[in-house]
Amino acid sequence: MTLSPAPSAATAAVSAVSTRVPTVRPATSADDVFIEDLQAIAFGPGRFAKTAYRIRERFRIDPSMSLIAEVDGVACGSVWMTPISIGGINGWMLGPLATHPNFRKLGAGKLLAREVTKRALARGDGQFVMLVGDRDYYCPLGWEPTTLGNIEFPGPVDPTRVLLFAEDKSLAATIAGPIAAWQQG
């Protein structure tokens, strides 16, 4: 009888990491404390001064578009969506998107961004998902830079970080106007 060698500590660690696959589920009110704590860890107290926070104060997030990422049943990330309109075109502002530092590099953030965008656009009542973020992170996922200065924010924003995801690939270059409330009708 031949015995297989015991796995090394490194092999065991790699195996443990490789099974840490994030999944996504809708957020519930039971996640409120986790989300608040996560945002505090990820963005600190300065998050309240950001222009994106001003938008979320004016236009409430859509709870049906709030998602939680989990790894092995443990919440590790979250994303919100805020219904907005730009130039009379309805869509969503993605964010904040945050992953707990203990779960980074597992793909939870990208999974959340892709899934919430897919769900939003599948509803058929909005044409885009806009965010303010890092091009190196979001552009490989399908976001495109907008025309500098076309979208008017209620405060300062680096226009090179304003990105848009839409099925209509011309929309990122053409959408223009102030961020306003979702247009009814």
pLDDT band at 19 (very low <50, low <70, confident <90, very high): low
- Global pTM reads 0.85
Q: Which two tokens stand for residue 18?
A: 């490789």
Residue found by looking up tokens 């938008």 in the block? 55
Please give the distance of CA 47 from its chain centroid, rounded to a whole number.
15
pLDDT band at 2 (very low <50, low <70, confident <90, very high): very low
Nearest to 113 by CA among 146, 83, 135, 143: 143
Cα→Cα distances 79→14, 39, 170, Å: 28, 10, 26
Indicate if the pLDDT at residue 48 is higher than 70: no
Indicate if the pLDDT at residue 10 is higher than 60: no
- What value does the mean pLDDT of the chain take? 88
Q: Which stretch, 11-15, 57-61, 117-121, has highest mean pLDDT?
A: 117-121
